[in-house]
Amino acid sequence: MNDPHHIYPGSHSTDASIHITLGSVRHAVTRREQVYRAIQRCGDFGATTFECAEALSLSQDIVQRQISNLYMRGRIMDSGRRRISPPHGEHAVVWVVSPHSHSPISEAFYGKEKTIQPAI
């Protein structure tokens, strides 16, 4: 694909617990910040593009652009794990927050965010 923002295709998850955790992300200033906070809230479990899109009620294309931007800035990283995307059976990247990354916008407005582990 020629789109420079496209790194990995989105994925699909039927795990209801991830939707509950991601859905609890507070309103953020920008879409990029919303995506960052959604991934941050998942801790080591991480989140795929599709899971973030579903939880934030955004299109996968919008979320993928933000994930690509966050990845290029070093704020998130590929966990090395994959989850199967049910509709097409594709393996999707599980994104996690980079160890040295923080969210200055969120911290300025809301204070430090605590990681919540999804119930599995």
CATH number for the domain that contains residue 101? 1.10.10.10
| Domains: count for the chain | 1
Task: Indicate whether 42 belongs to any domain.
Answer: yes
Phi and psi at residue 57, to the nearest 5°: 55, 45
Instruction: Spell out the per-residue pLDDT of the chain, length 120, in tens.
Output: 444 444 434 444 455 555 545 554 544 468 899 999 999 999 999 999 999 998 999 998 999 999 999 999 999 999 999 998 766 778 999 999 998 776 555 555 445 544 444 444
Buried b (16+ CB within 10 A) or exposed e, 84-110: ebeeeeeebbbbbbeeebebeebeeee
Task: Indicate whether 10 belongs to any domain.
Answer: no
Task: Indicate whether 7 belongs to any domain.
Answer: no
pTM given for the model: 0.63
Phi and psi at residue 97, to the nearest 5°: -70, 140
Task: Indicate whether 9 belongs to any domain.
Answer: no
**Which residue segment(s) compose the domain that 46 sits in?**
16-110
